[in-house]
Every structure is written in structure tokens, then in C-alpha cells.
Amino acid sequence: MPTALQRRAPLHRCQIALFAKLPLSARRLGLTRTETRPIVIVRAMSRLERRNYPHLAQPVGPYVQAVKHDGLLFLSGLTALGSSAQGRSITDQVAAICDAIANVAKSERTDLSSLVTVTLFVTSLQFASELSAAWSEHFAGCSAMSSLMQVGKLVSPDVLVEAQAVLALR
């Protein structure tokens, strides 16, 4: 008895979506529609790859610095902790974070032009103008989305700024 979908490739881990019409993306996956009622499209999901980088301060606890998924690299917890910029000015700490992002990008065979978005967490918004100037100095040619948030505390009193970033991998 025919089913709503005929698939040509085996399924492993799956993602399921319900559609009333067969979209072009389903045709690209080799799926064909055999009935007029809603169909289910199933596609294999990419695996998550979790990793830490030896040139960054290692996370404390069961955390990772980065996760790769579907051509994106998600970075989190980037601070000046453990670097020569720890306990110094916001400008020095931003420089250390920018260098860390650049080094991670280089180790992933990309560059800062692949930066998609950055979220900066600061302990005080009084640093906003210094932070903006330092960020612009290091990322002059990049036009990534960004957010700035004030938080009560970060991991150490010596840390004034923390960053999260997303890079598109090539």
C-alpha cells in the first residue's frame, strides 16, 4: 500500500515537519508525493560537534567553548580570564576577546568576515563608548549583528566583559 512519502535515502536521526504541499526542498531530497493529503518530510539532522580550543582558557565544569552544527560555530564564555588582560581595562579585555575569536576562526579555516553575530555582556554600561571603540578597532571590516547587555556579575571581579559569538563556517 503506498504511503504519503516515498524516500530514497535511509534515515538516521530525523527531523520531521508537516506540509500541505511538497516544497522544492523536499524534491531536492528525492522525496515524491503520492497522495493529496498532508505529507511528512523527514530529513537527517547533522551531528553536534562539541569542542574546546587549547589556546583559550579551559572551562571550569562540564562546559565546552564551542559547538558546531549545520555549518555554524557557536562560541560562548569568551573572556580575558587567564590572559594578560585579566584585571586590566575594558579596552585590553576586548582586545583579548577579539584575538580569541580571530584565533578560533583561523583554526576553523575561516576569518572574521564569517562572523554572524556577537553578544557582549558587561558589568557596567559606563564602558559602552570604550567598548565600542575597541570593538571597532579590531572588527573594522566586519558587519556582524551585535547586542550589548549589562549583567550584575561575571565569572570573576577581574572580568569586565564576556562574549558569545556565531561564525559561519565555509
Residue indicated by cell numbers 551585535: 146
Separation of alpha carbons 103 and 53, rounded Å: 9
121 burial via Cβ count (<10 Å: 0-12, 13-18, 19+):
middle
What's residue 54's pLDDT?
87
Query: What are the per-10-residue average pLDDT scores of the chain (170 residues)?
Result: 45 46 54 52 70 84 88 93 92 94 93 91 92 85 84 92 92
Indicate if 73 and 149 belong to the same structural domain. Answer: yes
Indicate if 20 and 63 belong to the same structural domain. Answer: no
Element (H, E) at 168: strand 161-168
Indicate if 105 and 160 belong to the same structural domain. Answer: yes
21-37 burial, b at 16+ Cβ within 10 Å, e below that, comes to: ebeeebeeeebebeeee
Indicate if 61 and 33 belong to the same structural domain. Answer: no
Indicate if 36 and 78 belong to the same structural domain. Answer: no
- Return the CATH number at 89: 3.30.1330.40
Indicate if 67 and 33 belong to the same structural domain. Answer: no
| pTM assigned to the model | 0.70
User: What's the structural domain count of the chain?
Assistant: 2
Indicate if 161 and 98 belong to the same structural domain. Answer: yes
Q: Are 73 and 169 in contact (CB under 8 A)?
A: yes
- CA-to-CA separations, 106 to 36, 94, 111, 114, 129, in angstroms, rounded: 50, 18, 6, 11, 28
What's residue 124's pLDDT?
93
Indicate if 92 and 145 belong to the same structural domain. Answer: yes
What's residue 27's pLDDT?
53
